[in-house]
Structure 1
Amino acid sequence: MREFLKSILRQVGALLLAYTVFCLFLVFFFVVLGFLIDGKGVAIRDQSILIFDLNVNIKDAPRSQTIFASFAESLQGPPTLEVTLKDTLDAIKRAAKDDRIAGLLLFGSRNPGESGSNYPNLAEIRRAIKKFSEAGKPVLAYLIEPSIRDYYLATAAERIIINPFGYLKLNGLSARMAFLGNAFEEYGIGIQISKAGRFKSASEAFTRDGMSEENREQTERWVHGIWDFILDAISEERGISIDALRRLSSERGLFLPADALGEGLVDAVHYYDVVLEEMGEIAAFDDSIESFAQVRLPHYIEEGRVQLAPQFDQDDRIAVVYVEGEIVSGEGDGVRFGGDRIARELRKLRQDEGVKAVVLRVNSPGGSALATEIIEREVQLLGREKPVVVSMGGYAASGGYWISTSADIIFANPSTITGSIGVFSLFLNLSEVANRHGVTFDGVKTSPFAEIFDITRARSKEEIAVIDEFTESIYEAFLEKVEGGRGMRREEVEAIAQGRVWTGADAIKLGLVDRIGGLEAAIDEAVHLGGLAAGSWRLVEIPRRKDFSSILENWIKRRDGEPLLSNYKMLPHSIGKLLSGFMVLQDLNDPLGIYARMPFLVTMD
Structure 2
Amino acid sequence: MRAYKWIGLLLTASFSVFGADVLKDNVEYTTSIAGAYDSRSTFTNPAALGFQTDLNGATPLSAFSTSLNANQNNDYVFSMAFGWLGFGIEHLVRNVGDLNRYSFALGMPFTPYLYYGIRYAFTRSDSAALSHYDSLTMGLQLRAHKRFSLALLAEGLNQPTHNGSLVPTRYTAGLLLNPIDPVRLTLDINTYSNNFLKSLGYEANAEVELARGVRVRAGYHHERKWQVGLQLNFGFTSYFSAFQPETPTRSVLIGAQFSVKPYSSLISFHSGLEMTVNGAVAEEPVNGGLLGSDRPSLLDLLKRLDEASKEPGIEVILIDLKSFPLGLAAAQDLADAVLRARGAGKEVEVFLGNAGLKEYLVAAAADRIYIEEGSELRLAGLREARYYLRGTLDKIGIEGELFAKGKYKSAPETFTRRGPSEASKEASLQRLRSLEKTIFAHLQKHRKISQKKWGQVLDHAMFSPEEAKEWQLVDAIDTFPDRKESLNAIFTENVQVMKDSIALQPRIAVIVASGDILQGRSALLSFAGSPQITYKKMETFFESALADPLTQAIVFRVSSPGGEILPSRQIASLIERAKKKKPVIVSMGDYAASGGYMISAPANEIFASPTTLTGSIGVFLGKVNLSKLYQKIDLKKEILTDAPYADLYSEDRGLSPGGRKILSRRLDQYYDSFVDYVAKQRQLALSKANEEAQGRVWTGTEAAGKKLVDKTGSYLDAVEAAAKRVGLAPGAYEYYVLANSASLFSPFGDGGWLKAETKTPWPVASIAEQIHWATLLSERPFLYLSATGLMEN
Residue 319 of structure 1 aligns to which amino acid in structure 2? A
Residue 280 of structure 1 corresponds to which residue in structure 2?
A: 485
Residue 649 of structure 2 corresponds to which residue in structure 1?
A: 453
For the residue of structure 1 that corresponds to 2:563, the secondary structure is strand
Does residue 138 of the first structure (1) align with residue 361 of the second (2)?
Answer: no
Residue 470 of structure 2 corresponds to which residue in structure 1?
A: 262
Does residue 431 of the first structure (1) align with residue 620 of the second (2)?
Answer: no
Q: 1:480 pairs with 656, 669, 676, which one?
A: 676
Q: Contact 2:377–2:462 (CA<8 Å) still a contact in 1?
A: yes
Aligned Cα root-mean-square deviation (Å): 3.4
Residue 110 of structure 2 corresponds to which residue in structure 1?
A: none
Structure 2 vs 1, CA of residues 136 and 579 (structure 1 numbering), >3 Å: closer, same or farther? closer
**Larger Rg belongs to:** 2
Structure 2 vs 1, CA of residues 380 and 98 (structure 1 numbering), >3 Å: closer, same or farther? closer
Does residue 156 of the first structure (1) align with residue 365 of the second (2)?
Answer: yes
Residue 585 of structure 1 corresponds to which residue in structure 2?
A: 771
Moved more, 85-94 or 412-421: 85-94
Q: Contact 2:391–2:418 (CA<8 Å) still a contact in 1?
A: yes
Give the drift of 1:411: 0.6
Q: Contact 2:616–2:698 (CA<8 Å) still a contact in 1?
A: yes
Residue 361 of structure 1 corresponds to which residue in structure 2?
A: 557
Structure 2 vs 1, CA of residues 559 and 578 (structure 1 numbering), >3 Å: closer, same or farther? closer
Q: Contact 1:372–1:402 (CA<8 Å) still a contact in 2?
A: yes
Q: Any idea what the Cα deviations from partners look like across 1:118-158, whole Å, max 9, x if unmatched?
A: 12222122122223234444322333432111111111222
Give the drift of 1:441: 0.6
Give the drift of 1:584: 3.4
**Uncovered stretches (5+) of structure 2, i.e. residues with no partner:** 1-57, 61-81, 84-258
Give the drift of 1:55: 2.1
Give the drift of 1:540: 4.7
Give the drift of 1:467: 1.1
Residue 484 of structure 1 aligns to which amino acid in structure 2? K
Structure 2 vs 1, CA of residues 99 and 513 (structure 1 numbering), >3 Å: closer, same or farther? closer
For the residue of structure 2 that corresponds to 1:174, the secondary structure is strand
**Uncovered stretches (5+) of structure 1, i.e. residues with no partner:** 1-33, 285-292
Structure 2 vs 1, CA of residues 131 and 526 (structure 1 numbering), >3 Å: closer, same or farther? closer
Structure 2 vs 1, CA of residues 373 and 104 (structure 1 numbering), >3 Å: closer, same or farther? same
Structure 2 vs 1, CA of residues 276 and 194 (structure 1 numbering), >3 Å: closer, same or farther? closer
Q: Contact 1:103–1:282 (CA<8 Å) still a contact in 2?
A: no
Residue 517 of structure 1 corresponds to which residue in structure 2?
A: 713
Q: Residues 12-27 of structure 1: matches in 2 within 5 Å?
A: none
Structure 2 vs 1, CA of residues 311 and 360 (structure 1 numbering), >3 Å: closer, same or farther? farther
Residue 449 of structure 1 aligns to which amino acid in structure 2? Y
Residue 195 of structure 1 corresponds to which residue in structure 2?
A: 404
Does residue 89 of the first structure (1) align with residue 312 of the second (2)?
Answer: no
Give % identity.
26
Paired with 1:384 and 1:497, the residues of 2 have a C-alpha distance of 27
Paired with 1:587 and 1:552, the residues of 2 have a C-alpha distance of 33
Paired with 2:302 and 2:548, the residues of 1 have a C-alpha distance of 27
Residue 504 of structure 1 aligns to which amino acid in structure 2? G
Residue 71 of structure 1 aligns to which amino acid in structure 2? L
Paired with 2:305 and 2:538, the residues of 1 have a C-alpha distance of 30
Q: Contact 1:431–1:440 (CA<8 Å) still a contact in 2?
A: no
Moved more, 356-365 or 309-318: 309-318
Q: Any idea what the Cα deviations from partners look like across 1:261-287, whole Å, max 9, x if unmatched?
A: 33322223x353xx6554333235xxx
Paired with 1:140 and 1:559, the residues of 2 have a C-alpha distance of 34
Q: 1:70 pairs with 289, 293, 299, which one?
A: 289
Q: Any idea what the Cα deviations from partners look like across 1:294-322, whole Å, max 9, x if unmatched?
A: 55xxxx35x84xx6689895485432221
Give the drift of 1:559: 12
Give the drift of 1:213: 1.0
Q: Contact 1:328–1:587 (CA<8 Å) still a contact in 2?
A: no
Q: Contact 2:590–2:611 (CA<8 Å) still a contact in 1?
A: yes
Structure 2 vs 1, CA of residues 498 and 279 (structure 1 numbering), >3 Å: closer, same or farther? same
Does residue 320 of the first structure (1) align with residue 539 of the second (2)?
Answer: no
Paired with 2:640 and 2:512, the residues of 1 have a C-alpha distance of 46
Residue 9 of structure 1 corresponds to which residue in structure 2?
A: none
Please state which structure has a larger fraction of its residues in strand. Answer: 2
TM-score by length of 1: 0.79
Residue 194 of structure 2 corresponds to which residue in structure 1?
A: none
Residue 198 of structure 1 aligns to which amino acid in structure 2? K
Residue 551 of structure 1 corresponds to which residue in structure 2?
A: 743
Residue 335 of structure 2 corresponds to which residue in structure 1?
A: 126
Residue 759 of structure 2 corresponds to which residue in structure 1?
A: 570
Q: Any idea what the Cα deviations from partners look like across 1:546-604, whole Å, max 9, x if unmatched?
A: 1xxx5115x49x997789x8799635x4xx31342123333564784210011114241
For the residue of structure 2 that corresponds to 1:505, the secondary structure is helix
Q: 1:372 pairs with 544, 568, 572, which one?
A: 568
Larger relative contact order (CA 8 Å, sep ≥ 6): 1
Give the drift of 1:435: 3.5
Give the drift of 1:356: 3.0
Moved more, 330-339 or 83-92: 330-339
Give the drift of 1:431: 3.0
Residue 461 of structure 2 corresponds to which residue in structure 1?
A: 253
For the residue of structure 1 that corresponds to 2:571, the secondary structure is helix
Structure 2 vs 1, CA of residues 247 and 271 (structure 1 numbering), >3 Å: closer, same or farther? closer
Residue 597 of structure 1 corresponds to which residue in structure 2?
A: 784
Residue 235 of structure 1 aligns to which amino acid in structure 2? Q
Q: Residues 364-513 of structure 1: matches in 2 within 5 Å?
A: 364-513=560-709
Give the drift of 1:233: 0.9
Structure 2 vs 1, CA of residues 484 and 139 (structure 1 numbering), >3 Å: closer, same or farther? same
Structure 2 vs 1, CA of residues 312 and 70 (structure 1 numbering), >3 Å: closer, same or farther? farther
Paired with 1:439 and 1:138, the residues of 2 have a C-alpha distance of 69
